[in-house]
Structures are given as structure tokens and as C-alpha cells.
Chains A and B, each alone.
Chain A
């Protein structure tokens, strides 16, 4: 498409340059270079990534290479009608909502600490709390399994205090929330810390000097100023939480599936690509919409910040 146009352009330039007596070497048009540099990435993405998602989309409507009939909404109807899928979706939403709250409660003080000027243990806290971004999620899951599983100290304590079954927290929703909070906390911390980086500390001092109590400074000045970062973090953590596969599947155990695992088992275990692909498209739409909202919130906050600096 544009490649053909670019090369046509290139030929035209080459002739005009050749006609010039200056003897300068023919220079390629930047567009040809730009597309040459982008070609490997675009080619790969177009074939595997876009192509794959297009096939999922078609399959979810009953279309595709080996489709028997025309487009149908039957798969989507089945997803919405199935009591089992409804339970899975509800469980996923509940677990994700609690995870978001847990990340917020833990993440806000951490973000505040690492952006405060007198944080003595700053680099250690950053390293420790943000390390889950890079440290193997699957490797850490076994830590929780050992801690929560039958025969563990935690299992004995939960048995002692709550009288629940000896499995402790393993294969409970509480266990899944703990596991998810552990991997997703860094995203909340990063989002809030980024918005605090351009927080004007003098506003807090001004509020305090005008007689506001520490709690009033926090609730009426500091928190509203951090709202974009908090909102961004909430959206990102929620989106990553509803799409999580391995941690939720391993800590939730069989019979306590989340949406991502339901998609996996529909496609690979039960060979029901119709429901699996329809659910995948729904999950895709939801998570991308939430992420877009998070990006929009971030941009708006930056724009507001820029406007404030200018005035």
C-alpha cells in the first residue's frame, strides 16, 4: 500500500536527482527507510497477533475455515445463559475487586514513602516492593501453596482460630486475593508514585499552616491531588486481575475457576472453541476498555498538570 507509493516517489526523486549535475548520491526517501525498519515488527504482528485475534473474533461468531453455517450469536448467548460461566465471572469480579482494595491500602503508603524526600530505606523498599514485576510469578506461587497448604503452620493457625478445614487458605478465594495482591501491588505503587512525582508538596504545607488538621490535609488536599494516580492504579490492577491466569488457577484450585482459566479449559480441555472464543472476546473488550480508560486518565492528569504549571 504505502510501500508502493513510497517506492514510486523514490523513483521520481532518483531521476530528478540523477538529472542534477551536482553528482550527489541518490538519497532514499525517509519513508522507505521508516517502513524498512518497521517491516519486521509489522509483518510479525500482522500475521500472528492480528491474524490470531481476527480468527478468534470470527470463531466466536461461528465463522471460520471449517464453519458449518453463517454468522451467529449462539456462542455469546450461551456464555450469557450459562449458570456456570456466570458463577465464574462473578467470582473473578469479586476476587478482582478485593484485590484492588488490598493493593490500594498497601500501595498508597508505599508510594507515599518512596516519593517522600526523607525516605532512608527508599531504594530497598523500591527494590523489594517492585521486584514482583520481574520475579517469576509461577515460582512464587509455590511459596503460597507451601504456606497455605495442608500441614502448614498457617493451616494449623486458621484451623485453630477459625475452625476451617485443614487446607488453610489454599484453594480459597482469600488465598487467590493474597496471591494476586502480591503480583499486582507494584502496578498500583508505580501508578500512584508517578502521579506523586509532580505533586506540589508546598500545597500540603500551605494547608497545614492554614490550620488544617493532619487528617484534613490528607483527606481534603493530599488524596484529591493523588486521585489520577489512584484511579489509574485501580483500573490497571483491576484489568490485570480479571485477566490473570496462572496465579488464580493454581491458588484457586479446581472448581474455583476464574475467567482466564475458564477460557483455557473450554478450548484445550473441553474442546468447546465456541464458548471459549466468545468469552475470550468479551474478556479482551473489557480489559482493553479498562486499560484505555487508565491511559486516558493518565493523559488527562498530565494535561491538567501542564496547565497548572503554565498558569
Chain B
């Protein structure tokens, strides 16, 4: 019985992705599954659609900038928090991780209100700023876990041999954290790339991302081309999972990102 439920859960977890994948090759004109004939037509449609390609470009730029900046800010914070454990830094750690437990919708409205007050419009910078708030906590979690795994005696040895703090950081700490940093970059990228519930408050025409485009089209009238677009999002996710599994082990990431 227990094994049957495990098998069912595996199929259940993979099912929607599989269906989108198969349906994206469907020759039919509706979103129905299973497909009767197979074609690559919808990929041509979606890649030739200027609205889609500009959203794809926006999504990639947004996720790229967000992941680099979020990882950099989180790395600095992680060093401070892990190396100087005081009640204040423990409190700051909790504060910096707190967006994980705040509903994205609430964060989204808050940022929207701030932007309205300062008259800021949607652009790469304002969207990135919003995305930083929801990606920094995950990057910070992963980097703190990565730092916790380091052997501090190596740093102490370097310092006692006369290396100034920055040299210790650059040539001792940083190389050991390579995998953790790469994991944080990939995780932040994919979180930003897939976000709907925060981004929907911040986008404006001309600055739409792929998930928002899909969300709006699904609300109106989804055509089969939407499956091809979804497959592109799913492929990005699976590439990210593959990379993370190679870098730090997917399981470690899963447990580290646990709420």
C-alpha cells in the first residue's frame, strides 16, 4: 500500500509537466489532451511572436541580473552573519530570511505602493529590485549552509600566517564556497524566472515576463501555442535542477531551502 502511494506520488508529481510537453506537439486546435497528431508548428508560432520574444528577453535579463545581484548581496550578508554571531546578527538573519514566510502577493502590493509614491515605472531596475526581495532569502539560506560546511581552521591558519582579512576571504573562503555560490545563482535565477505572484503587481505593458504573459493569456483564451511557451519555462527549470544537482546535490538544496 505504502509503495503504491509512493509510485502514485511520483507519477502525480511528474504528470502535469509531461502533459504540457506532449500537448505542445499536438496538431489539434484546442488545449485538450491527449493529442491526436504531432507537429512542431506551435514552437514556430511562439518563437515568431514578437510579444513572446520580447517577454522572453525581458525574463532572461531580469532573472540574470537578479540572480547575480541577489547572490552578491546575500554573500556579503552571509559572511557577516556567519562570522560574527551576536544576538543582533541572529536577529538580522531572521529579518533577511523573513520574506520566505510573507505571502508574495503582500510583498508585491507593498513594492507597488512604494513605486507609485516615488513615481517609478516598470523597467528592468524596478522589477529587479522587487525580485531581489524574494530571491535574497533563498540565496542567503544556501550560502549560510555553504559557509557552515567550511573548516574555520584553514582560515585561522591563513590569518596566523599573516594574510589580511580580504586575502583570507579571496583566496581561502571564496574558492571553498564556489559550489554554494553557483547553487545560489541558479536557484535565484529560476525563482526570478518563474515568479508570477510578485511580478504581476510590478509589470506594465512593454515590460512583461513570460510567466505573466502565460498567466494573462490563460485568463483570457489560451490557445495551443501556450503549451510550447510552457515547455520553454519547464525546460529552463529542468536545466536548473540538473545544474544544481551537479553543483551541490538537489537534495541538499531542497533541505536547505525548506521553510
Contact = CB atoms under 8 A, between A and B. Distances in A.
Interface of A: 2, 30-31, 33-35, 37-38, 40-42, 44-45, 47-49, 51-53, 55-56, 59, 65, 105-107, 109-110, 112-113, 123-147, 149-153, 155, 181-182, 185-187, 190-191, 194, 236, 239-240, 243-246, 249-250, 254, 260, 263-264, 267-268, 276-277, 280-281, 283-284, 287-288, 291-292, 294
Contacts of B1: 109
A37 B241 contact: no
Q: State the 5 A-B residue pairs at the shortest beta-carbon distance, nearest first.
A: A52-B110, A143-B16, A243-B103, A37-B80, A151-B32
23 contacts: A49-B133, A52-B111, A52-B112, A109-B6, A124-B10, A128-B10, A134-B190, A138-B214, A138-B230, A139-B20, A139-B237, A140-B17, A140-B20, A142-B31, A142-B214, A147-B33, A182-B13, A185-B13, A190-B258, A194-B255, A283-B106, A287-B102, A292-B101
Contacts of B132: 44
Q: Interface SS of chain B: helix, strand, loop or mixed?
A: helix
Given A135-B234, A185-B9, A143 B196 contact: no
A182 B11 CA distance: 10
Interface in B179-228: 187, 190, 193-194, 196-197, 200-201, 211, 214-215, 218-219, 222, 226-227
A127 B102 CA distance: 27
A168 B81 CA distance: 52
A261 B31 CA distance: 24
Q: Interface SS of chain A: helix, strand, loop or mixed?
A: helix
Give the interface residue-count category, chain B: 35 or more
Contact of A151 (B6, B30, B81, B110): B30
Contacts of A243: 103-105
B77 interface: yes
